[in-house]
């Protein structure tokens, strides 16, 4: 039995169950099933709802058989870990529950899921049929977009939308092989139809979403809806909801957004570079992603909302399993609606490599704007915020110049690194790693490449190596003083600062050198080593108690 600290309160992944009157086995198993079908977590048996540990019932004094009981009463068998824990002198049980991919139920057929109520407390509710399919699709076990839609026929396709699809292939540079196909072959190639056992073809959800008639979409795909809203200083300037097929929806949203997306021009050499409020490639990719990856089992519209300081795009359905805000830039594509995503890639609407997030990031960072923000994303919706802060024209000019010299775009990791250095002034490879969502070695490679390109300056040669923007970049963005502050003083200036400190206060420690000169531990150690070697200071003591004094000249015995 171990000592442990109780969680502060119940949550989506934490459940407290009182055992003073012996919790019935049925209620215990149902609570564990509820956790497993959501995010997994911990059930604390012997704890009241208010978090007070009151202990286990005598019948649960021996916990060794509890895991077997749970496995025997669930289907498929749910494997849990049970540990006895002492909390404030009271013995309770912590039951750890894994998040399962395949839905689990009790042997009585009860299937539950966990959710947060309006007051912030959790509850268990029945898992309905559409929620089971939705959950399976989030794990990639089912692709609802590839399934036929009950009651629909080929007559539900709109010939005008089919022609719009062909034009979109040309407009977006999609797979031109599609243009050579007749209607039946085109619909088959894009997964717009599937063949039944009798050989007949019927529309899939992908087919209806791309070329279905609007009236049919309203009747057969009631969850499909999107809205464009413009909110300025708390006033609603535009607010309309539509149920168009997706290609028409993208055209409509882009057409209505353009009047609110002013654009200025930047002269770079002989060329004029447009600088819009929102990069249209990023806008198109973000909106298309919201329409493609939304959960079509849940009611709720895709919202494209322009606010005073940001463009906010949200869609029902959280991120799919395996994708988090912390790995969006590096994880392999895991579309919830694979057939729909594949069709949109072949048409050319979205990035064919599946790295559309890179397009969104590039559309922000290349103008010197803040990075896209997914911080408001939760289990029920994905929310993307694109700040509409003024562009940094000098920074944009520099990026254009660099990319023309390279004859290629800057890697997205390089743009993120430059943005992070502009915000935080000085970074180590380890610090940058979290922003590019890679390991420290990859971050160091990015920073060293930028150093070689003259955009970043490295400081120090040890593990404490840090980086700032180079003098060239600071001069481009008209902030020479910032470079002087962040790049640090020359080694001679550092030495004089240390010597002056020692003369004034009598001694100095390595940690004080780090704070005085804004150096890393390794850089401070090297500076002190040079001063000792030159005979200007001397080391006293050892380990953490060591400090440095001004070198005292000693009498020459020969005198």
Please determine, for residue 555, whether its predicted confidence score (pLDDT) is greater than 90: no
pLDDT score of 553? 55
Mean pLDDT over 84-112 rounds to 91
The topology under which CATH files domain 413-487 is Arc Repressor Mutant, subunit A (1.10.10)
Please determine, for residue 475, whether its predicted confidence score (pLDDT) is greater than 80: no
407 — alpha (psi -120 to 50), left (phi > 0) or beta?
left
pLDDT score of 306? 96
pLDDT > 90: percent of the chain: 61
Domain boundaries, the chain: 2-127, 145-220, 226-334+351-393, 413-487, 493-550
- H or E stretch covering 548: strand 547-550
Q: Please tell me the class of the 493-550 domain.
A: mainly alpha
The topology under which CATH files domain 2-127 is 3.30.950
Do the beta carbons of residue 147 and residue 204 sit within 8 Å? yes
Compute the CA torsion angle 518, 520, 522, 525 (nearest 10 deg): 30
Nearest to 256 by CA among 274, 269, 241, 268: 241
Do the beta carbons of residue 148 and residue 326 sit within 8 Å? no
Q: What is the pLDDT of residues 11-68, one digit of tens each?
A: 999 999 999 999 999 999 999 999 999 989 999 999 999 999 999 999 998 888 899 9
Mean pLDDT over 415-434 rounds to 90
Mean pLDDT over 136-146 rounds to 81
CA distance 381 to 315: 6
pLDDT confidence bin for 523, thresholds 50/70/90: confident
pLDDT score of 11? 93
Q: What is the pLDDT of residues 363-418, one digit of tens each?
A: 999 999 999 999 999 888 999 999 999 999 988 988 998 898 889 999 999 999 99
Read off the tokens for 398. Answer: 């520099």
Please determine, for residue 93, whether its predicted confidence score (pLDDT) is greater than 70: yes
Q: What is the pLDDT of residues 440-449, one digit of tens each?
A: 999 999 999 9
Mean pLDDT over 175-199 rounds to 94
pLDDT score of 353? 63
Do the beta carbons of residue 168 and residue 347 sit within 8 Å? yes
Q: Of 25-29, 342-346, 499-503, which gets the smallest average pLDDT? A: 499-503
* pLDDT greater at residue 132 or residue 249: 249
Of 91-105, 243-257, 462-476, which one has max mean pLDDT? 243-257
Please determine, for residue 141, whether its predicted confidence score (pLDDT) is greater than 80: no
Would the CATH topology of 413-487 be identical to that of 493-550? yes
pLDDT > 70: percent of the chain: 93
pLDDT confidence bin for 492, thresholds 50/70/90: low
Nearest to 447 by CA among 465, 424, 423: 465
Do the beta carbons of residue 501 and residue 516 sit within 8 Å? yes
Q: Please tell me the class of the 226-334+351-393 domain.
A: alpha beta
């Amino acid at each position: 039995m171990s000592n442990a600290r109780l969680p502060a309160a119940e949550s989506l992944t934490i459940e407290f169950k009182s055992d003073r009157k012996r919790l019935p086995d049925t209620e215990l198993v149902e609570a564990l099933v509820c956790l497993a079908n959501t995010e997994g977590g911990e059930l604390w048996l012997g704890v009241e709802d208010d978090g007070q540990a009151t202990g286990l019932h005598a019948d649960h004094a021996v916990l060794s058989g509890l895991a077997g009981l749970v496995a025997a009463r669930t289907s498929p068998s749910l494997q849990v870990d049970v540990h006895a824990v002492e909390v404030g002198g009271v013995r309770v049980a912590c039951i750890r529950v894994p998040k399962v991919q395949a839905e689990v139920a009790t042997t009585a057929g009860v299937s539950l899921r966990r959710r947060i109520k309006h007051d912030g407390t959790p509850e268990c509710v029945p898992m309905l049929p559409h929620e089971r399919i939705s959950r399976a699709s989030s794990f990639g076990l089912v692709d609802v977009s590839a399934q036929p839609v009950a009651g629909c026929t080929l007559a539900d396709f709109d010939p005008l939308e089919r022609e719009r699809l062909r034009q979109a292939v040309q407009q977006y540079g999609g797979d031109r092989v599609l243009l050579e196909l007749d209607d039946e072959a085109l619909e088959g190639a894009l997964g717009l139809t599937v063949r039944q056992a009798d050989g007949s073809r019927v529309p899939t959800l992908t087919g209806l979403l791309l070329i279905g008639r609007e009236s049919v979409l309203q009747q057969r795909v009631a969850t499909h809806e999107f809205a464009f809203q413009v909110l300025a200083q708390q006033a609603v300037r535009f607010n309309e909801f539509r149920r168009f097929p997706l290609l028409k929806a993208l055209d409509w949203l882009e057409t209505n957004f353009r009047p609110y997306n002013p654009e200025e021009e930047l002269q770079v050499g002989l060329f004029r570079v447009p600088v819009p409020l929102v990069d249209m490639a990023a806008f198109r990719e973000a909106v298309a992603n919201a329409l493609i990856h939304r959960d079509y089992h849940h009611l709720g519209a895709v919202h494209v909302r322009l606010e005073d300081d940001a463009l906010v795009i949200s869609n029902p359905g959280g991120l799919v399993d395996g994708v988090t805000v912390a790995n969006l830039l590096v994880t392999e594509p895991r579309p919830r609606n694979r057939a729909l995503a594949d069709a949109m890639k072949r048409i050319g609407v979205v990035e064919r490599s599946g790295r559309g997030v890179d397009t969104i990031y590039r559309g922000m960072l290349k103008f010197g704007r803040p990075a896209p923000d997914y911080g408001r994303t939760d289990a029920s919706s994905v929310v993307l915020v694109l700040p509409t802060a003024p562009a940094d024209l000098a920074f944009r000019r520099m990026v254009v110049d660099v990319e023309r010299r390279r004859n290629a775009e800057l890697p997205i990791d390089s743009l993120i690194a430059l943005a992070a250095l502009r915000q935080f002034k000085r970074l180590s490879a380890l610090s940058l790693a979290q922003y590019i969502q890679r390991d420290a070695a990859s971050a160091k490679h990015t920073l060293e490449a930028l150093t070689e390109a003259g955009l970043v300056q490295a400081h120090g040669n040890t593990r404490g190596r840090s980086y700032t923007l180079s003098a060239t970049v600071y001069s481009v963005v008209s902030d020479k003083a910032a470079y002087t502050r962040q790049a640090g003083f020359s080694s001679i200036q550092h030495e004089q600062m240390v010597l002056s400190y020692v003369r004034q206060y009598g001694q100095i420690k390595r940690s004080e050198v780090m704070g005085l000169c804004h150096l890393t531990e390794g850089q401070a150690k090297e500076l002190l080593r040079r001063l000792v070697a030159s005979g200007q200071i001397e080391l006293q003591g050892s380990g953490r108690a060591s400090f440095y004094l001004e070198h005292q000249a000693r009498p020459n015995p020969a005198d």
